[in-house]
């Protein structure tokens, strides 16, 4: 069965354990360039926090006549697409998949987390948030044509539909970034993560970019500097060597220590220790895809409703492998 790309985002009642999804949106793009737009609003049992409302501007009044997420056709469509040959593309997947898990969803697709990808290959940028990347990579220059094509008036930040359109452009541009393999080869912990599955970084140079990104999404990110405390802005590698007692205190006493920082500390404290993280390798690895340099989009305009599934046709898109 031919693969599809599912580009997904959610908006929620908040970010705590008790919070739930109130908006789900995703694009479905096949290898022929056909695009299907899905989005729905839904009524949660949990109240929307004012802090969340201030971000996405979704109010209880907008949801009063909506169904629960599981009853929507959009969620049922996501279940249909949840097969291992498809790619699921999310920015900061831990959050969205965590929210979907509360609804009983378990991902079977090959996950590409663009947040991990940009932190691996563009570590020099001061931020890796989606909205920062929207401007740093010039994605906003490509939005007008995309919006016109899909019949959407504008892209709103922190709206699930707007966010997946930006995410799609981000994914397309990451695949054709300058010196991509050179950037991948500089990931310090890549070999250490690949060794347990019998690979080294040179092996994945021959993988299709989609599969390479799938693997990189599973590789923990090394953090260069501390972002807090008495060693703020100091290299973690240096502090691990110079102040071991402080590092051990952090590991033992700071229960809320960021996972990436904790991983980075262990990486430099125990350089000979093999990783406990077992990477999943794609079952079928094809030859390197040809990535075109120009995006051309042709389709008919159509309005998008609040709860719908609509299709468009696309040609010569940088998203697809030739």
Q: How many domains in the chain?
A: 1
**Residue 240, in any domain of the structure:** no
Listing from the earlier edge strand, what are the strands of the sheet with 87-90?
110-113, 87-90, 4-12, 21-30, 34-41, 308-313
Confidence of residue 297 (pLDDT cuts 50, 70, 90): very low
pLDDT by residue (tens digit) across 34-49? 889 999 999 999 999 9
The dihedral through the CA atoms of 282, 283, 288, 290 has a sign that is: negative
pLDDT by residue (tens digit) across 69-94? 999 999 999 999 999 999 999 999 99
CA distances from 147 to 39, 169, 298, 301, 319 (A): 16, 12, 12, 9, 17
**Residue 45, in any domain of the structure:** yes
**Residue 207, in any domain of the structure:** no
pLDDT by residue (tens digit) across 186-203? 999 999 999 999 899 999
Instruction: Residue 29: give the domain boundaries.
Output: 4-176+292-308
**Residue 298, in any domain of the structure:** yes
**Residue 134, in any domain of the structure:** yes
**Residue 221, in any domain of the structure:** no
pLDDT of residue 1: 65
Integer Cα distance of 113 and 252 in angstroms: 29
**Residue 184, in any domain of the structure:** no
Lookup: tokens for 127: 């931020």
CATH assignment of the domain containing 57: 3.30.420.10
**Residue 321, in any domain of the structure:** no
pLDDT of residue 288: 37
pLDDT of residue 181: 95
């Amino acid at each position: 069965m031919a693969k599809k790309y599912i580009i997904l985002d959610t908006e929620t009642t908040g970010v705590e354990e008790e919070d739930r999804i109130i908006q789900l949106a995703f694009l479905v793009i096949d290898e022929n360039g056909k695009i299907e737009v899905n989005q729905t609003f839904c009524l949660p049992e949990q109240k929307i926090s004012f802090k969340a409302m201030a971000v996405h501007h979704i109010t209880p009044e907008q949801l009063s006549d909506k169904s629960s997420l599981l009853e929507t056709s959009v969620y049922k469509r996501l279940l249909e697409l949840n097969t291992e040959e498809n790619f699921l593309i999310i920015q900061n997947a831990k959050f969205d998949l965590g929210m979907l898990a509360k609804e009983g969803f378990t991902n079977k697709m090959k996950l590409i987390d663009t947040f991990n990808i940009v932190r691996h290959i563009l570590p020099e940028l001061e931020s890796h948030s989606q909205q920062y990347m929207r401007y740093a990579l010039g994605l906003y220059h490509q939005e007008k044509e995309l919006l016109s094509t899909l019949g959407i008036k504008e892209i709103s930040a922190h709206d699930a539909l707007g966010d997946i359109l930006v995410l799609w452009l981000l994914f397309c541009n990451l695949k054709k970034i300058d010196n991509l393999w050179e950037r991948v080869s500089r990931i310090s912990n890549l070999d250490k993560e690949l060794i347990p599955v019998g690979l080294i970084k040179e092996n994945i140079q021959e993988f299709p970019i989609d599969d390479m990104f799938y693997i990189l999404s599973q590789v923990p990110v090394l953090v260069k500097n501390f972002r807090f405390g008495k060693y703020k802005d100091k290299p973690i590698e240096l502090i691990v060597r110079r102040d071991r007692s402080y590092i051990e205190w952090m590991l033992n006493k700071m229960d809320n220590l960021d996972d990436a920082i904790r991983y980075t500390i262990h990486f430099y404290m125990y350089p000979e220790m093999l990783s406990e993280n077992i990477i999943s390798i794609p079952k079928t690895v094809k030859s390197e895809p040809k990535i075109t340099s120009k995006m051309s989009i042709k389709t008919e305009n159509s309005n998008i409703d609040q709860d719908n599934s609509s299709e468009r046709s696309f040609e010569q898109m940088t998203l697809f492998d030739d």
